Amino acid sequence: MAQKQQKEPVQLIAFDFDGTITTADTFALFLRYWAGTPRWIFNLLKLLPIFIAYTLKIIDRDKVKEHVVRTFFKGADEEALNRRAKQFAREVIPGLIRPKALEVLKEKNKPPYTLYIVSASINHYLDVWAIDNGISNVIATNLHAVNGRLTGELSGPNCWGQGKMAKITAEMAQTPFKIVEAYGDTRGDREMLHAAQESFFKPFRL
């Protein structure tokens, strides 16, 4: 009886986005872009006790993200968010991209590798930027919506720390894979960097 041929694992190259590919935190910038300055300031003041609790280590980073998402997005029209996110992806993000990062992305985005952006930022604008730059695969933090309205909750885990590896594993499902290279710049990338055969911390800086 012939032995079943084992499938070769997919060779992933994983890039963090904020701070690695960009020079700034795009999620923080998008909150102001989405809300407008007056509401952005008002919401930050509302969230001040949450930020203090995080500083005092009473709550973790994931809880902070949940509170931020609830404050800024609960009840929002999903189509309106998508429109604003598309504008942000095309008007703001290009000016934040590290030239060397873009060069390496283009170099790595071809067989035998499968390239992924893996980011704690939200997929609404990341998907647009990625498609515009020929990148097919994005794993990000997702916002939950029902009947075209955002509930203010996350759909799945925050894509940070252990959440990055959980989302990569869920994305690949039953497909064998190995992370051959990973690029990151913060504690939130540690698990992904450790899982890679070769890792690059704070690359693309001159």
Kindly indicate the confidence band of residue 1, based on its pLDDT and cuts at 50, 70 and 90. very low
The reported pLDDT for the residue numbered 4 is 53
Q: What is the pLDDT of residues 81-117, one digit of tens each?
A: 999 999 999 999 999 999 999 999 999 999 999 999 9
CA atoms within 13 A on the CB side of 27: 20
**Per-residue b or e along 153-178, where b marks 16 or more CB atoms closer than 10 Å to that residue's CB:** ebeebbbbbebbbbbbeeebeeeeee
* Ordered alpha helix ranges (H), 56-150: 61-73, 78-91, 99-108, 123-132
Average model confidence (pLDDT) across the chain: 96
Distance in angstroms (rounded) separating the CA atoms of residues 84 and 76 = 12
Structural domains of the chain in order of their starting residue, each with its CATH number:
10-201 (3.40.50.1000)
**53: how many CB neighbours lie within 10 A of its CB?**
15
Reduce the DSSP state of residue 146 to 3 states and report it: strand
Question: What are the two backbone dihedrals, phi and then psi, of residue 17, each rounded to the nearest 5 degrees?
Answer: -105, -65
Indicate the length of the chain as a whole number.
206
Q: Which residue shows structure tokens 């910038």?
A: 29
Point out which residues pair with 10 in neighbouring strands: 177
Provide DSSP, 150-162.
EEEEESS--SSTH
Mean pLDDT of 53-58: 97
141: enclosing H helix or E strand: strand 137-141
- Can you count the helices (H) and strands (E) in the chain? 8, 7
The reported pLDDT for the residue numbered 2 is 47
In the chain, what percentage of residues exceed pLDDT 70?
97
Contact 104, 14 (CB under 8 A): no
Helices 26-35 and 61-73 cross at an angle (nearest 10°) of 20
Distance in angstroms (rounded) separating the CA atoms of residues 77 and 35 = 13
198: enclosing H helix or E strand: strand 198-201
Distance in angstroms (rounded) separating the CA atoms of residues 43 and 57 = 21
Q: What is the pLDDT of residues 28-40, one digit of tens each?
A: 999 999 999 999 9
The reported pLDDT for the residue numbered 121 is 98
Q: What is the pLDDT of residues 114-146, one digit of tens each?
A: 999 999 999 999 999 999 999 999 999 999 999
